[in-house]
Amino acid sequence: MRDAKKIDKHIYHSLYMLAKGNQFKNKRVLLETIHDKKREMSEEKALAEQAAARKSRAKARLERKAAKTGDKSQE
């Protein structure tokens, strides 16, 4: 899976160490864990993108508000 670029090196290393420590009793359990980790990563990435979009919208709103108040003070 690592060679096929389905998981990154950090997940691979953590799962490798767990496998060496005999945490997975068979391959099915290991694959379920891999799918769970990938799902968690995608959820975190989506939340990070949403937060970035929210911050950019808030920044644009504040800039518009500052420009609006700047126009009023010049009058």
Q: What is the mean pLDDT of each run of 10 residues along the chain (75 residues)?
A: 80 92 92 92 95 96 89 67
What per-residue confidence (pLDDT) applies to 74? Answer: 63
Q: What is the pTM of this model?
A: 0.66
Helix (H, G, I), strand (E, B) or coil at 62: helix
Residue 48 structure tokens: 């990070």
What per-residue confidence (pLDDT) applies to 75? Answer: 59
* Rounded Cα gap, residues 28 and 41, in angstroms: 20
What per-residue confidence (pLDDT) applies to 8? Answer: 86
* Rounded Cα gap, residues 73 and 75, in angstroms: 5
What per-residue confidence (pLDDT) applies to 73? Answer: 65
